[in-house]
Amino acid sequence: MGLLIRNGRVLDPAQGLDAAADLLIVDGRIAAVERGIAEQGHRVLEATDRVVCPGFIDVHVHLREPGQEYKETIATGTRAAAAGGFAHVCCMPNTDPAIDDPAVVSRLQEKAAAAIGVRLHVLGALSKGNAGRELAEMGRLSDSGVALFSDDAFPIQSSRLMRHAMEYARGLHRGVALHCEDKDLAGDGVMNEGPVSTLLGLRGIPDAAEDIMVARNIELCRLTGCRLHILHVSTRASVDFVRRAKAQGLPITAEGCPHHFCLTDEACLGYNTQAKVNPPLRSRDDMNAVLEGLADGTLDCIATDHAPHAIQEKDCEFDQAMMGLTGLETCVPLTLDRLVHSGVISLADAVAKLSTHPARVLVGDGHALPAGVDPGIGTLRIGAPGDVTVLDLDRPHEVVPERLQSRSKNTPFSGWKLRGAAAATVVAGRVLMEDGELIA
Ligand code: DOR
């Protein structure tokens, strides 16, 4: 028995497909996409007036295991993903201890297998203990199944060490996903540097702290030939650097996060710690540059930087509060409302930025893929994994922190009323979420 997703609008940017059709998944893989597929004892998921897309992939998520399970776990974080419409999540290695040991990678994959069923791709630390001093055992990590390497939240400051890391990653057919921040210049800043930080009397982080490292990492990409994914681009100059580097043919991808395309640093007014995040919410001009980058394809992916923190880590002075916000359950409504319904990008572009393009970040050159990365992810081609996100473009969605599946409820979008949401999440033909309710 398979799963028949019936009467939907099937949208697969990888094939340029946008047509009314049924979609059948058998034995965990796409078996047919055509009109009028017979029911024949299959489980039926009605998709009338809905859009049937490749399963969404979030390349930037913090699931906090090991070590900070009070904020999130593989189990709770993957439930949040399923609730938000994500079939795949990529978890960052800035855990405690860092994900710099192959045994940890296997343990996390076991936990994901025992959880709701969202596919987990583990990112390995570039440096031992995320300390930025010596490289992690990248070869062993790669053998254990890490999909990409990252220094997220603890960016490697030494250009020489980063060069070596990128040379190793390239040799292993892995890309690197980099948080671009000059820590010395960012200093002990807590929000964007500008009129709002002056008004609030808070220490600022200038755009240049990001721009300098984006430029450096682009040059190291040129030097090493290593695939580079730039995490959470937030400034106009960074968008410009990425645009130019891509025009020169460098193997670069980049992401924009919903908070950077929906909010400015004014969200910090009133010392609102829910809006404290790194890179910080920027000026209106920077936000517009992120929107322009999404619109012209400079920013290929939409990713959440889902960063759960406990109540006591946010319910405190702005200076003391942790940086980050949960994103898995607000990303799709914010994308549909703020980007698609407002005409910034087409629906097909939004779907590509949530499926086709993040799949390419994971699959890369297709060589020596880790066990968990099927080369067919991110499409609805026959034979591809049966991972599907169904969208309801008009469903009213109010952000209510208490209703989030994530163990942490930190969000600056509380009370926002948005139009559009994921209506179902399917992985390997299993329905994990339907009409906002988790099923497994
Ligand atoms: O705001 C952030 N929170 N930015 C990061 O880079 C890391 C993340 C976290 O781990 O909390």
The answer to whether the CB of 267 falls within 8 A of the CB of 412 is: yes
**Which position has the token pair 């100059």?**
237
* Cα(192)–Cα(279) distance, integer angstroms: 8
The answer to whether the CB of 127 falls within 8 A of the CB of 134 is: yes
pLDDT of residue 92: 98
Render pLDDT for 132-155 as a digit per residue (tens, 0 to 9): 999 999 999 999 999 999 999 999
pLDDT of residue 339: 98
Domain boundary assignment for the chain? 3-52+383-438, 55-363
Main-chain phi, psi angles of 326, to 5 degrees: -75, 145
Kindly state the tokens that stand for 367.
Answer: 């060589």
Centroid of ligand 1 to alpha carbon of 50 (angstroms): 34
The answer to whether the CB of 238 falls within 8 A of the CB of 210 is: yes
The answer to whether the CB of 87 falls within 8 A of the CB of 63 is: no
Main-chain phi, psi angles of 20, to 5 degrees: -70, 125
Kindly state the tokens that stand for 139.
Answer: 């070869």
Q: Give the orientation angle of helix 284-296 with respect to helix 236-247, to 10 degrees.
A: 20
Atom of ligand 1 lying closest to residue 309 CA: 11
CA-based torsion, 309, 315, 316, 317: positive or negative? positive
The answer to whether the CB of 240 falls within 8 A of the CB of 377 is: no
pLDDT of residue 85: 98
CATH fold of 3-52+383-438 reads: Urease, subunit C; domain 1 (2.30.40)
Amino acid found at 146: V
CA-based torsion, 63, 67, 72, 77: positive or negative? positive
pLDDT of residue 440: 66
Kindly state the tokens that stand for 344.
Answer: 């910034």
Atom of ligand 1 lying closest to residue 277 CA: 1
Beta strands in 348-416 (DSSP E): 388-398
Q: Is 305 a catalytic residue?
A: yes
Same fold, 3-52+383-438 and 55-363: no
Atom of ligand 1 lying closest to residue 179 CA: 6
Centroid of ligand 1 to alpha carbon of 376 (angstroms): 30
* Cα(255)–Cα(268) distance, integer angstroms: 23
The answer to whether the CB of 356 falls within 8 A of the CB of 379 is: yes
**Which position has the token pair 């028949």?**
4
> Which residue, judged by its Cα, is nearest atom 7 of ligand 1?
153
* Positions in the chain short of pLDDT 70: 440
With a 6 A CB cut-off, is 62 part of the ligand 1 pocket? yes
End-to-end CA distance of the chain: 18
Is 8 in a helix, a strand, or coil?
Answer: strand
Beta bridge partners of 54: 388
CATH fold of 55-363 reads: TIM Barrel (3.20.20)
86's enclosing H/E stretch is strand 86-91
Kindly state the tokens that stand for 112.
Answer: 């994901």
Q: How far is CA 423 from CA 179, 180, 183, 292, 389, in A?
A: 32, 34, 41, 28, 8
With a 6 A CB cut-off, is 278 part of the ligand 1 pocket? yes
Q: ω before 97 within 30° of 0 (cis)?
A: yes
* Cα(166)–Cα(340) distance, integer angstroms: 36
- Provide, for the chain, the percentages of residues in helix, strand and coil under a 3-state DSSP scheme, each rounded to the nearest 5: 35, 25, 40
pLDDT averaged over every residue in the chain: 98
* Cα(198)–Cα(68) distance, integer angstroms: 34
With a 6 A CB cut-off, is 313 part of the ligand 1 pocket? no
Render pLDDT for 386-430 as a digit per residue (tens, 0 to 9): 999 999 999 999 999 999 999 999 999 999 999 999 999 999 999
The catalytically annotated residue of 100, 305, 387, 392 is: 305
* Cα-to-chain-centroid distance, residue 428: 20
Centroid of ligand 1 to alpha carbon of 277 (angstroms): 7
Kindly state the tokens that stand for 134.
Answer: 């010596």
Centroid of ligand 1 to alpha carbon of 292 (angstroms): 24
Mutate to test the pocket of ligand 1, among 63, 94, 156 (most ligand atoms within 8 A of CB): 94
Q: Minimal CA–CA distance to 324: which of 309, 334, 302, 303?
A: 309
Render pLDDT for 2-43 as a digit per residue (tens, 0 to 9): 999 999 999 999 999 999 999 999 999 999 999 999 999 999
> How many C-beta atoms surround the C-beta of residue 117 within 10 A?
20
DSSP assignment letter at 132 = S
pLDDT of residue 371: 87
